[in-house]
Amino acid sequence: MPFIKTDSSISEINSYKENKGTKYPLFIARVQAGFPSPGDDYIEKNLDLNELLIKNPSATFFVKVEGDSMVNAGINSGDTLVVDRAVEAKDKSVVIAHINGELTVKRIRLSEGRVFLNPENEEFRPIEVTEETDFDIWGVVTYVIHKV
């Protein structure tokens, strides 16, 4: 099989280690993109990031992205992806795929019995998965974590 350069490879894989107990304040008010409201300083409840981001702890892992083939999906080089192996991949899911010996992040497209791994950057071409392709889906991306 030829090596397929996809330019959004996975540079690091980390498993999820449950650490309950850390909760952060969640405010009732929504954040204004314009002029802020001075009366919106009430805390609604505490937010546990584990509860928010991790639905299936034993099937969840994290990956670091390297490359820019998914920038139009809001996935940038250096981002951390939350990946759930228990979620079934369907048409248009963003997945971590193992293809011909390489891990990559792409949007899966199912069309007329054919499978494609599509980049979200017009500078890159879709990859068609054929019978000859060594291909497996490692999980579905559920969240993207990046610094602003």
Tell me which residue range forms the domain holding 116: 8-17+56-145
Quick check: is 64 catalytic? no
* Residue 25 within a domain: no
3-state secondary structure 72-112: HHCCCCCCEEEEECCCCCCCCCEEEEEECCEEEEEEEEEEC
Q: Let me know: does 15 contact 61? Beta carbons within 8 Å.
A: yes
User: What's the total number of domains in the chain?
Assistant: 1
Domain of 84: which CATH number?
A: 2.10.109.10
pLDDT single digits (tens) 67-83: 999 999 999 999 999 99
pLDDT single digits (tens) 93-146: 999 999 999 999 999 999 999 999 999 999 999 999 999 999 999 999 999 999
* Residue 42 within a domain: no
Could you say which of 23, 77, 93, 106 is catalytic?
A: 106
Quick check: is 106 catalytic? yes
Average pLDDT over residues 20-39: 59
pLDDT at 45: 74
- Residue 132 is classified by DSSP as T
* Residue 44 within a domain: no
Could you say which of 11, 17, 45, 69 is catalytic?
A: 69
